[in-house]
Structure 1
Amino acid sequence: MSKKTVVIGFMGTQLDAGQGAGRWEKWRPTVSLMQHEDTLVDRLELLYAPKYLALAQVLVRDIASVSPGTEVNLVPVDVENPWDFGEMYAALYDWARGYRFDPAHEQYWAHITTGTHVAQICMFLMVESRFIPGQLLQTAPPRKQRQGDPGSYTLIDLDLSRYDILAQRFDQAHKEALDFLKSGIATRNKRFNALIEEIEHVAVRSSAPILLTGPTGAGKSHLARRMYELKKARHQVDGDFVEVNCATLRGDGAASTLFGHKKGAFTGAAADRAGLLRTAHQGVLFLDEIGELGLDEQAMLLKAVEEKRFLPMGSDREVNSDFQLIAGTNRDLRIDVAEGRFRDDLFARINLWAYTLPGLAERPEDIEPNVEHLLSRAAAEGGRAVRFSTEAKVRYLQFAKSAAAPWRGNFRDLSASVTRMATLAEGGRISTALVDAEIERLRWLWQEGGTATKRLSSKALPAQIDADSLDLFDRLQLEAVIQVCRESRSLAEAGRKLFNHSRSQRSVVNDSDRLRKYLLKFGLQWDALQPVREQV
């Protein structure tokens, strides 16, 4: 189904003027546009100065007589001086921000023939900045004036990005976008603020892949969604935000989840499946932990990103999907490329815009504004205001910013901590006693509160290991190695973590063999240490 045509334009107080029958003998841009037999304007948003309401009403009646199918909305624009750039731009900006554009079902033409030159320039800027998601429309009179001849019109696409246009409202929009990406949190870390400023520029100007790296809980998923919402507000995407954690994808389920499948493609494929790439058409696909994808899926993804088409499992016909990819990972993909676990061509494709989000411990000055934000959110969700006592706030922030608080879970740990205190606060007041209890809880969580022997747990060792027969040194070391093994998905990955620095001093690097031999000293096998993981 074709899109409806919507024209946005100023009423020309001179060109569109005329009261008597003679008005039909002259070319009037707004009325003449509706007289083109091969073009139907479904709706006209007619901007006019309130003091010219009578003329606007004449135009409404005349348009109805020549184009009954055109709906006309009169939009009063009350500016004291129509030649004042700031005043005119502000009025048009405010109208566009409040207008409900629907690019999926409507196409927009911004008429620049009528109105003051200042109004025309402002219309140019609104279209170029995508606050009006459409094209510029220029109309012209016929060469020989004849009654009923509507003249001609032209649609214009202009790229004004090469001009350095400084406008107060653009600055305001830029600041609003930065604030939006930071969720309204007044962050103080210079490095983080500079990073967000560049991301804002890229988010609204580019549809190329973006790579977000950083530790778990640093906010990669949240930032990806905020980028999508910013693009959505600018009418740059029409589709959905689709998110998947690649660490949950294994076997046939990985390709099926991402690329879809045809019925019968594999055991259990009882019906066709579209897949997440097609679901993200015209939107944003966020692949968290992209380093966990298998090599086959990486190859398919590369083709989909570069060519916007791919083959679903079991199908012999390609499908199309035009999406923007945002990838996230807490791994160093350069190492994975060097060791053959990640395709170098895919890495090159997604590494055009790469940003590393710092962990919370690297941004101690941002802890306080984040705590205030989380308290406000807790108050909104719980329906009651919650505040620290002065002493309690000082005590909590002093601990939170110290080396004793590693914030290993980053913002997830901080959010959980504030939520606990807000929930337990009597009378909406977080006391020093509550803060002290929370600090002890966090110390326990990060294993900072006791001696080495207190942190030992027989459950950390397999049943065949007699913990009492080991020296404390060997027991601590073995527990740490087993923990790394349980958190890793392959012997090679665990070896890389354990021997990351010493490998540079060895002529032959075989992390897997070193780890296997260490485990055998205690009669342990790699497979026996692996937890059962859900297959998707």
Structure 2
Amino acid sequence: MKRQVVIGMLGTQLDAAGYGPGRWEKWRPTVSLGMHEDFLLDRLELLVDERRFAQLAQQVGEDLAQVSPETRVRRHDTFLADPWDFEAVYGVLDDFVRGYDFRPEEEDYYVHITTGTHVSQICWFLLTESRLFPGRLLQTAPPRKQKGTNPGSYALIDLDLSRYDRIAQRFAEQRLHDRDLLKSGIATRNPAFNRMIEQIETVATRSKSPMLLMGPTGAGKSQLARRVFDLKKQKHQLPGRFVEVNCATLRGDGAMSTLFGHIKGAYTGASADRAGLLRSAHQGLLFLDEIGELGLDEQAMLLRALEEKRFLPVGGDKEVESDFQLIAGTNRDLQVSVLEGRFREDLLARLNLWTYRLPGLAERAEDIEPNLDFELERHSRENHQRVMFNKEARERYLAFARGGDASWSGNFRDLGASVMRLATLAEGGRIRIDLVEEEIARLRRQWHGAPTQASALERVLGEDAARLDRFERVQLEDVLRVCAQAKSLSQAGRELFAVSRASKASSNDADRLRKYLARFGLDWERVKARD
């Protein structure tokens, strides 16, 4: 059997029980190591500050020899100027471990973590977890009732056990839950968006610095700011409130008062003190949407409040304090606003540490389907009635929604409104194809103005037109335009292949055109019938 070797620090409090016979009535963790019948201690490497505790170490060694004569005790002079200095303690223990002659093929090693300060216990854990110390942790505990030489109990902690893998898995699952929270529970599929959310989750939990969210109106800046607050609230990082304001609504003298508050009598109509939004957000999160609309004076005051955590209310001569986290939103290019003199460069520099651009819905075509399901589920939950698409209607709506004809200029607001209309008008909780066609026509009018006649491509292919890539649409639309003007298949083929046919000894332009149309399930008769 391998020899059992324990490395431990002298317990200057727990091991100190005096020098008289009464010391045997007290539980001493280092002495107890040799008192367990099922744990045979061959050697104890005892770390001692010999200048201060040599006598105590000598007594502990002698007492251990009485209860376990076979145990050899080796003392190592270990000086810790400040046993609560993490860096210093780790350095001393790391030097000891690196200089020790470990022989794992002959000996099993344990670190006794019951003695020493909490700092030393953490350092031993790190050294063991990193495998710099090739052994396990050993923890002893006193008996519930002290009776004579009761050794108490001990426990071995093996950092390779599967339960620690399960703990690590729980941490990973928590991170996924946090990211899911930031995405409102929507299983988004856009890789770039998901990577951005992963970084925002990391930043949100580790930093209190300002964050700047850029993107078009309706891209979800306000919702994301709220989710960041919810995440930090769950982690007990922000005990305060979530305070939101759209800076585009702040005008004139009221802007200063709304943000920074005022004192009674500051101006006509100021009949009472007003705290202002910055003070209301103390120890919470302040979301300033459309910050690019804020006036220059307000920008200067905001910068000072961010940097110094204090500011003057309107009409006041005594500063007030507020420690808040700021998230700003904008659909403007603030760099351009700086060049135009409408936004302070120093404030932008303060906001620009963590900047994220939220893409519009049209840029996240793969996320339209999960967001469609989310909006449907929300409508069903709020109205206590299940609403679903039938298969044909769902395919038609998604084909249009992901096609080039859908601009989604209002982004997720447009999608939410569209789903609400469909769900409200659905009969028996089923959205059918005729309702989808009406909604598509409505969205086209909304985005493109007056209704237009269906294109030649849509007249010929119908719903299948929305499934074509833009490259194929452009090419096929030009082919159909030539076919509409030609009197025969051969005439259309000669015009379409005029360049390539000149380099061939013989060519069948009509056959080439026929094969091209067949790729889309078309023939000459069908094309001419839809002119």
Quote the residue 1:425 is aligned against.
Answer: 426
C-alpha separation in 1, matches of 2:26 and 2:358: 63
C-alpha separation in 2, matches of 1:410 and 1:364: 11
Q: What one-letter code is carried by the residue in structure 2 that aligns with 1:384?
A: Q
C-alpha separation in 1, matches of 2:274 and 2:323: 18
- Whether the aligned pair in 2 keeps the contact of 1:440 and 1:449 (CA below 8 Å) is no
Q: Does 1:222 align with 2:223?
A: yes
C-alpha separation in 2, matches of 1:170 and 1:298: 40
Q: What one-letter code is carried by the residue in structure 2 that aligns with 1:205?
A: R
C-alpha separation in 2, matches of 1:26 and 1:402: 80
Describe the SS at the equivalent of 1:325.
strand
Report % sequence identity.
Answer: 69
Q: Could you list the per-position Cα deviations for residues 157-181 of structure 1 after superposition, in whole angstroms to 9, with x for gaps in the alignment?
A: xxxxxxxx99212111111111111
Q: What one-letter code is carried by the residue in structure 2 that aligns with 1:330?
A: N
Q: Does 1:349 align with 2:373?
A: no
C-alpha separation in 2, matches of 1:218 and 1:413: 10
Q: Does 1:262 align with 2:263?
A: yes
The within-5 A match list for 1:96-115 is none
Q: Could you list the per-position Cα deviations for residues 401-440 of structure 1 after superposition, in whole angstroms to 9, with x for gaps in the alignment?
A: 1111100100000000001111111111000011011111
The 1:310/1:385 distance shift into structure 2, 3 A limit, reads: same
C-alpha separation in 1, matches of 2:244 and 2:114: 45
Quote the residue 2:240 is aligned against.
Answer: 239
The within-5 A match list for 1:40-59 is none
- Whether the aligned pair in 2 keeps the contact of 1:404 and 1:448 (CA below 8 Å) is no
Describe the SS at the equivalent of 1:287.
strand
Q: What one-letter code is carried by the residue in structure 2 that aligns with 1:406?
A: S
- Whether the aligned pair in 2 keeps the contact of 1:289 and 1:330 (CA below 8 Å) is yes
- 1:448 Cα shift? 5.1
Describe the SS at the equivalent of 1:335.
helix
Describe the SS at the equivalent of 1:446.
helix
The 1:339/1:28 distance shift into structure 2, 3 A limit, reads: farther
- 1:270 Cα shift? 1.1
The within-5 A match list for 1:431-446 is 431-446=432-447
The 1:178/1:28 distance shift into structure 2, 3 A limit, reads: farther
Quote the residue 1:447 is aligned against.
Answer: 448
Q: What one-letter code is carried by the residue in structure 2 that aligns with 1:292?
A: E
- 1:201 Cα shift? 0.5
C-alpha separation in 1, matches of 2:277 and 2:114: 45
Q: What one-letter code is carried by the residue in structure 1 that aligns with 2:352?
A: N
Quote the residue 2:192 is aligned against.
Answer: 191
- 1:27 Cα shift? 7.3
Describe the SS at the equivalent of 1:300.
helix
Q: What one-letter code is carried by the residue in structure 1 that aligns with 2:186?
A: I
C-alpha separation in 2, matches of 1:349 and 1:284: 16
The 1:298/1:383 distance shift into structure 2, 3 A limit, reads: same
- 1:378 Cα shift? 0.7
Quote the residue 2:471 is aligned against.
Answer: none
Q: Could you list the per-position Cα deviations for residues 90-133 of structure 1 after superposition, in whole angstroms to 9, with x for gaps in the alignment?
A: xxxxxxxxxxxxxxxxxxxxxx979xx9xx87xx99xxxxxxxx
Quote the residue 2:288 is aligned against.
Answer: 287
Quote the residue 2:177 is aligned against.
Answer: 176
The within-5 A match list for 1:261-340 is 261-340=262-341
Query: 5+ residue gaps in structure 2?
Result: 1-13, 16-21, 30-112, 127-140, 143-165, 454-531
Q: What one-letter code is carried by the residue in structure 2 that aligns with 1:437?
A: E
Quote the residue 2:387 is aligned against.
Answer: 386
Q: What one-letter code is carried by the residue in structure 2 that aligns with 1:319?
A: V
- 1:233 Cα shift? 0.2
Describe the SS at the equivalent of 1:374.
helix
C-alpha separation in 2, matches of 1:386 and 1:251: 47
Q: Could you list the per-position Cα deviations for residues 475-499 of structure 1 after superposition, in whole angstroms to 9, with x for gaps in the alignment?
A: xxxxxxxxxxxxxxxxxxxxxxxxx
Quote the residue 2:414 is aligned against.
Answer: 413
The 1:421/1:281 distance shift into structure 2, 3 A limit, reads: same
The 1:394/1:311 distance shift into structure 2, 3 A limit, reads: same
Q: Tell me which moved more, 261-270 or 405-414.
A: 261-270
- 1:393 Cα shift? 0.2
C-alpha separation in 1, matches of 2:362 and 2:423: 22
The within-5 A match list for 1:64-75 is none
Q: What one-letter code is carried by the residue in structure 2 that aligns with 1:264?
A: G
Q: Could you list the per-position Cα deviations for residues 43-65 of structure 1 after superposition, in whole angstroms to 9, with x for gaps in the alignment?
A: xxxxxxxxxxxxxxxxxxxxxxx
Quote the residue 1:203 is aligned against.
Answer: 204
Q: What one-letter code is carried by the residue in structure 1 that aligns with 2:285?
A: V
- Whether the aligned pair in 2 keeps the contact of 1:336 and 1:342 (CA below 8 Å) is yes
C-alpha separation in 1, matches of 2:28 and 2:297: 62
- Which protein has the larger Cα radius of gyration, Structure 1 or Structure 2? 2
C-alpha separation in 1, matches of 2:348 and 2:247: 16
RMSD: 2.9
C-alpha separation in 2, matches of 1:234 and 1:189: 27
Consecutive aligned runs of 4 or more in structure 1 exceeding 6 Å deviation: none
The 1:239/1:168 distance shift into structure 2, 3 A limit, reads: same
Describe the SS at the equivalent of 1:285.
strand
C-alpha separation in 1, matches of 2:310 and 2:200: 27
C-alpha separation in 2, matches of 1:194 and 1:333: 24
C-alpha separation in 2, matches of 1:270 and 1:445: 46
Q: What one-letter code is carried by the residue in structure 2 that aligns with 1:191?
A: A
Quote the residue 1:495 is aligned against.
Answer: none
Describe the SS at the equivalent of 2:332.
coil
Query: 5+ residue gaps in structure 1?
Result: 1-13, 16-21, 30-111, 126-139, 142-164, 456-536
